[in-house]
């Protein structure tokens, strides 16, 4: 391919070969031909004059597509489906007369789109399961490790590294549920005709409504679906595209949130994404270890979330039984949403497999804040020794403010422990106060929550999907 023409980075840099194939010309047009074969076979079974030889010819030429001839015919006819009918017929002239019999363009176009979205969602589903498995192992490993929890990115209470990971996993579970919902509700358009009335097929079968209905079911079964849409115009409702794009947007939101968290933790030097031995973090600053994979995830997530609006705008602006202002848009928005989502999940999996955790840095940050967090426990101990709760509250408040000012205004270490130990109203030594500064005392049910979440939700899920979890997924090496 010439290098002086534009190529989407989703293909050249980010998406996996698996997803790229699903939206390739070969996959699209061989699926068109499979649909034409399924149509001919169903029509033959229901009594139309179609020979075994004609069907054999169609089957024999599903994969040998003459793209140059198809392009030549499209330039002449200005119609992609008719161009490919002619290209198919050129390969099997004895069957030319029965290709696309009674159908309209959306028979191949829309049914193929549904088939591709289904297969792409299955690939997305497998990758979600991979990431859930990796993060679950991470959560199990670090379920006990205390770490500062943040609200508003300000130190709040202590949680554990593993508990934080369950928050990432839980969002992916929500996404998996959404994917399963879409997969469970995707149906073929079927063979509905020019305005959805199936008039052309009713004519072919001499007014036999049952044969028209039966034909659709035969086609659906051959293409791996349990049914077709009950009603439509010429096209399936574009709300199906909008819904699928919304599901991909949800995945992008979860992945983007994880990426943001990792970027913040990288700044704190508590956790980092993988960094190879010869990786360059900055062309100007040799010491830099930028969180570039998570930044890439975040960037792609933004694209997917914004792109989801394409489906909504298209769905609400369809005119009556059919308009064509959807076509050019969905040719781009749907495949690229899948390619971008696939790209994100490939990076997510790579990061999840190799998150670096720095317990000493985490402990340092905890101990900088823990004296403040422990003041309630210290106050209760002092009260139990005979102190006045309200008076102690005021004393501890003053010392806390003074210690915080020393840290923020003069860059000094947090000396709250010594301030409290020196105050006779507290009545506790440094050693006694330090016994209250054990981080594990402040993690609440975090460790138990991790165990319960993994045992009750994740282990059964992964066990029920062992085959998919074992699937090896490839990724464009430039993305990771």
Higher per-residue confidence, 339 vs 156: 339
For residues 27-55, average pLDDT: 96
Q: What is the pLDDT of residue 392?
A: 87
How distant, in Å, are the alpha carbons of 271, 355, 359, 446, 469 from that of 142? 12, 11, 10, 11, 22
Closest CA to 135 of 338, 279, 345: 345
Q: What is the pLDDT of residue 2?
A: 57
Q: What is the mean pLDDT of residues 332-343?
A: 96
* 8 A C-beta contact, residue 335 and residue 364: no
Under a CB-based contact definition with an 8 Å cutoff, are residues 328 and 252 in contact? Answer: no
Q: What is the pLDDT of residue 156?
A: 87
Q: Average pLDDT for residues 282-309, to the nearest whole number?
A: 83
Per-residue pLDDT, averaged over 146-168, amounts to 95
C-alpha neighbours within 13 Å on the C-beta side of residue 140: 10
- Tell me which of 1.10.1660.10, 2.70.98.40, 1.10.40.30, 3.40.50.2000 is the CATH number of domain 375-436: 1.10.40.30
* Catalytic residue (one of 152, 249, 266, 429): 152
User: For the structural domain made of 105-141+155-355+454-464, what CATH number should be given?
Assistant: 1.20.200.10
More confident residue, 348 or 290: 348
pLDDT band at 22 (very low <50, low <70, confident <90, very high): very high
Say how far apart CA 295 and CA 256 lie, in whole Å. Answer: 9
Choice among 51, 282, 429, 440 that is catalytic = 282
**Average pLDDT of the chain to the nearest whole number:** 91
**pLDDT at res. 420:** 86
* 392 or 51, higher pLDDT: 51
How confident is the model over 81-95, as a mean pLDDT?
95
| Residue 55, number of CB atoms within 10 A of its CB | 18
pLDDT bracket for residue 130 (50, 70, 90)? very high
CA distances from 115 to 119, 171, 190, 367 (A): 6, 27, 12, 55
Q: Hey, where are the domains in the chain?
A: 25-98, 105-141+155-355+454-464, 375-436
- Count of beta carbons in the 10 Å neighbourhood of residue 207: 9
The verdict on whether 282 is a catalytic residue reads yes
- List pLDDT tens digits, range 227-247: 899 999 989 899 999 999 999
Distance CA 64, CA 57 (A): 12
Given pLDDT bands bounded at 50, 70 and 90, which one contains residue 181? very high
Instruction: Pick the more confident residue, 372 or 359.
Output: 359
pLDDT confidence of 276, banded at 50, 70, 90?
low
Which CATH number is associated with domain 25-98? 1.10.275.10
CB atoms within 10 A of CB 75: 9
Given this model, what pLDDT does residue 281 score?
53
């Amino acid at each position: 391919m010439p290098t002086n023409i534009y190529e989407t980075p989703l293909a050249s840099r980010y998406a996996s070969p698996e997803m790229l194939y699903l939206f390739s010309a070969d996959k699209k047009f061989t699926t068109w031909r499979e649909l034409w074969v399924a149509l001919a076979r169903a029509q033959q079974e229901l009594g139309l004059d179609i020979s075994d030889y004609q069907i054999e010819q169609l089957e024999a030429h599903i994969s040998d597509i003459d793209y140059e001839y198809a392009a030549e015919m499209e330039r002449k006819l200005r119609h992609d489906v008719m161009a490919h009918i002619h290209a198919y017929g050129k390969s099997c002239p004895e069957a030319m007369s029965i290709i696309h019999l009674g159908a309209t363009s959306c028979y191949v176009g829309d049914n193929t789109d549904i088939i591709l979205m289904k297969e792409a969602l299955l690939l997305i589903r497998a990758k979600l399961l991979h990431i859930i498995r990796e993060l679950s192992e991470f959560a199990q490993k670090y379920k006990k490790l205390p770490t500062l929890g943040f609200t508003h990115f300000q130190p709040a209470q202590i949680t554990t590294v593993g508990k934080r990971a369950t928050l990432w996993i839980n969002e992916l579970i929500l996404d998996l549920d959404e994917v399963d919902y879409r997969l469970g509700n995707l149906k073929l358009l079927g063979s509905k005709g020019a305005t959805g009335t199936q008039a052309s097929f009713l004519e072919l079968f001499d007014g036999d409504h049952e044969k028209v209905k039966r034909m659709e079911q035969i086609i659906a079964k051959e293409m791996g679906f349990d049914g077709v849409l009950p009603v439509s115009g010429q096209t399936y409702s574009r709300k199906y595209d909008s819904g699928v794009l919304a599901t991909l947007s949800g995945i992008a939101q979860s992945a983007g949130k994880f990426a943001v968290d990792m970027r913040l933790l990288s700044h704190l030097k508590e956790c980092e994404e993988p960094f190879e031995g010869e990786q360059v973090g900055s062309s100007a600053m040799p010491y830099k270890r930028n969180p570039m994979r998570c930044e890439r995830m975040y960037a792609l997530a933004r694209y997917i979330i914004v792109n989801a609006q394409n489906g909504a705008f298209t769905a609400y602006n369809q005119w009556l039984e059919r308009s064509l202002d959807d076509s050019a848009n969905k040719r781009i928005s749907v495949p690229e949403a899948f390619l971008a989502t696939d790209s994100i999940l490939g990076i997510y999996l790579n990061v999840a497999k190799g998150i670096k955790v720095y317990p000493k840095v985490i402990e340092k940050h905890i101990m900088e804040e823990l004296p403040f967090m422990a003041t309630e426990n210290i106050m209760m101990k002092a009260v139990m020794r005979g102190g006045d709760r309200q008076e102690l509250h005021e004393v501890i408040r003053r010392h806390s403010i003074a210690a915080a000012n020393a840290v923020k205004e003069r860059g000094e270490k947090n000396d709250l422990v010594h301030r409290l130990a020196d105050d006779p109203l507290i009545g506790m030594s440094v050693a006694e106060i330090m016994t209250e500064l054990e981080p594990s005392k402040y993690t609440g049910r975090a460790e138990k929550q991790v165990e319960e979440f993994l045992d009750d939700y994740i282990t059964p899920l992964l066990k029920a999907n062992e085959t998919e979890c074992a699937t090896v997924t490839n990724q464009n090496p430039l993305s990771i």
